[in-house]
Amino acid sequence: MPPDPAVSSAEPHAAGGAFVAPAILESMQARRARRGREHFFPGVPDADWNDWRWQFRNRITSLDRLATRLPFPARERATRRAVLREFRMGITPYYLSLIDPDDPDDPVARQVVPVAEEQSDVSAGLDDPLGEETFSPVPGITHRYPDRCLMVLSNSCAIYCRYCTRKRIMAEDAVFDLHLDRMVEYIAGTPAIRDVVVSGGDPLSFATDKLDRILGRLRAIPHVEIIRIGSRVPVALPMRVDQELARMLARHHPLWVNVHFNHPHEVTPDAARACDRLSREGIPLNNQTVLLRGVNDDETTLRALCHGLMLMRVRPYYLYHCDPVRGADHFRTTVARGVELIEALRGHTSGLAIPQFVVDAPGGGGKIPVNPQYLLSYDHGRAILRNHQGRTYETQDPPDLPGGSMPSPGPPTPPRGRDGLSPQDPPCAGRPSPPHGSENSAEPEAPSAASDWVHRRQ
């Protein structure tokens, strides 16, 4: 397939109909990307640069190649080599072009370049912080909530983020057909599943026809209503999103794509064109940002990112507290900082541009929304509220309805979600045992299938 000529056009409306807002075309990020390409890859013709396969083949995967473009002290080589034994590196030429080689704290580099702190943090954190394998009834499936499941298609990505919650599985293999068959069979045999999140690895790094076949198998399951794809390809390899891919995805509607921008430097004309191609095929785009210390944990950066996303018609969806994965402690900040950042956005930008801050509970507890406290008191229908300026206001419930009150502290709410499945619902591995002393008390179930297909450190 020839490379898409629209990828590097300087016009807002490029060939193929891709649109870029003038504010992005004329942005500092656009100039940075052009300078980065000229600095790191002088002489590479457009035909190669705009070819996603060339980009994928020419990723930076070794310290030797990294050192020729981003020199680092020789004394750090042994430590960085040890880091790469724990978690591989992959940086596309395009994503490298977004890095400022003169900035030792560049926020793009910080996400993908291995550093000594990873080795210092290696004993902290967990291999599987979200308990995905505990909730895995067959290899590649995580079924934590009653009506939706995660389907991990691949453990290969265009770039490898140093804070990745699935570090434990990242390798250059795809899922065996046998495992894919078992995943599809499980979903087809579980009528409660109406929403499938296809992730990895990165599904959009697959060949178009192969991904088409997989999505077609899911779409053929009558009870699957929604398909969602999680991908960082529009951020790190935007030339992959050509017209052929976008139109193929549209054949499997209703289909959503969740992208993963973390910093405004990633909001470039190329990324905007990739998002536009998906949007024009009727694919809604949501963004999931991870809150990362030294990358986006300040108000100015986060606001600029959210505004840039809105220019690309991408809705800021989640702001994740960084998971306690092994080797990533230097990325993590406090829950309080996340709440402060959301409060700094509220009232200073449109509500549509404010993501929901969530903590993905360790061990498989699921996403827990964490918000600033705006309801100060609520008693017998009288609510005292605080706005973004710190001013307080009072409102009263309608007189013809019983006045509500804030719940008093008491025992925890009974478990809901997948833990509360009724007996007729399909069982899933890893369901926690009932509270000790209940008549159904039992030992916790072991997972029904080990994720034996994933890459594990030896």
Contact 142, 152 (CB under 8 A): yes
Catalytic residue among 337, 367, 382, 386: 367
Catalytic residue among 59, 166, 273, 431: 166
- Treating both helix axes as pointing N-terminal to C-terminal, what angle do 208-219 and 177-188 enclose, rounded to 10 degrees? 30
Catalytic residue among 157, 275, 306, 428: 157
| Catalytic residue list contains 323 | yes
| Catalytic residue list contains 431 | no
| Catalytic residue list contains 103 | no
Best CA proximity match to 448, nearest among 144, 181, 188, 134: 134
| Catalytic residue list contains 34 | no
d(CA 17, CA 253): 21
| Catalytic residue list contains 457 | no
**What's the residue count for the chain?**
458
Q: How big is the CA angle at 159 (ends 296 and 49), to the nearest 5 degrees? A: 110
Question: Which residues on adjacent β-strands are paired with residue 259?
Answer: 287
| Catalytic residue list contains 166 | yes
Structural tokens at position 424:
């007729």
Q: Cα dist. 312→27, 261, 267, 325 in Å?
A: 13, 12, 8, 31
d(CA 203, CA 195): 16
| Catalytic residue list contains 360 | yes
Catalytic residue among 37, 148, 162, 168: 148
Catalytic residue among 95, 145, 160, 320: 145
Catalytic residue among 88, 128, 160, 161: 161
| Catalytic residue list contains 210 | no
205: left (phi over 0), alpha (psi -120 to 50) or beta: alpha
Catalytic residue among 51, 128, 323, 329: 323
Catalytic residue among 37, 59, 144, 418: 144
Catalytic residue among 360, 418, 419, 428: 360
Q: Supply the residues annotated as catalytic.
A: 144-145, 148, 157, 161, 164, 166, 323, 360, 367
